[in-house]
């Protein structure tokens, strides 16, 4: 008789362990991207950006959520991308920090965004029944994204990737064990 391994795929909930800066909840996210495959199976220089629907399905955005006390900022960004979009990848250098007004809460948040070069797209992920994910070209992704600060982060990413001088010398590989999410 074989031994079955149960993998727990659930999103973290609650805000009791989340970080705040000067009274503003800190949220962290990623802009997942990849280079489109050409018809000959080689990577092109055309970017594809992954956008996801909000939980209520009325808006498109990039994965983001609360930064918790027990994780680095890069780990939080990678976790949110796994939970909300079902993707894993290499986290690059921070794109920036934005103060924005939460539409649902009516309070200001501090948002930090990172690029994620996607290396794996999972078939099963924690919020697959609550969200849709769609790969788009940069123009369509910018138009679809509802939040001005996320659009600015996308602009920074595109500028960084189009200018060899601005490209980081290394990307951090953040590994998230699915088991640690339980």
How many angstroms separate the CA atoms of 136 and 139, rounded? 8
**DSSP string spanning 80-102?**
HHHHHH-EEEEE-S--EEEEEE-
Q: What is the pLDDT of residues 110-145, one digit of tens each?
A: 999 999 999 999 999 999 999 999 999 999 999 999
Question: Which residues form the domain of 60?
Answer: 20-162
Residue 4, phi then psi, degrees to nearest 5? -95, 140
Q: What is the pLDDT of residues 156-181, one digit of tens each?
A: 999 999 886 654 444 555 555 444 44
Q: What is the pLDDT of residues 11-59, one digit of tens each?
A: 445 556 788 888 889 999 999 999 987 778 777 778 999 999 998 878 9
Within a domain: residue 7?
A: no
CATH number for the domain spanning 42: value is 3.90.79.10
Number of domains in the chain: 1
Within a domain: residue 90?
A: yes
User: Cα 105 vs. chain centroid, distance in angstroms?
Assistant: 21
């Amino acid at each position: 008789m074989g031994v079955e391994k149960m993998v727990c795929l659930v999103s973290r909930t609650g805000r009791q362990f989340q970080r705040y800066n000067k009274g503003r909840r800190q949220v962290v996210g990623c802009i997942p991207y990849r280079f489109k495959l050409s018809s000959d199976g080689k990577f092109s220089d055309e970017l594809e950006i992954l956008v996801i629907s909000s939980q209520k399905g009325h808006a498109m955005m990039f994965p983001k959520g609360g930064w918790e006390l027990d994780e680095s900022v890069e780990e939080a960004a990678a976790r949110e991308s796994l939970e909300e979009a079902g993707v894993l990848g290499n986290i690059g250098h921070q794109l920036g920090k934005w103060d924005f007004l939460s539409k649902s809460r009516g309070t200001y948040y501090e948002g930090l965004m990172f690029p994620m070069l996607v290396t794996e797209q999972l078939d099963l992920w924690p919020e697959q029944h609550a969200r849709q994910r769609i790969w788009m070209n940069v123009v369509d992704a910018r138009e679809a994204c509802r939040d001005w600060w996320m659009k600015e982060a996308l602009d920074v990413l595109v500028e960084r990737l189009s200018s060899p001088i601005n490209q980081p010398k290394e990307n951090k590989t953040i590994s998230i064990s699915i088991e640690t999410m339980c």
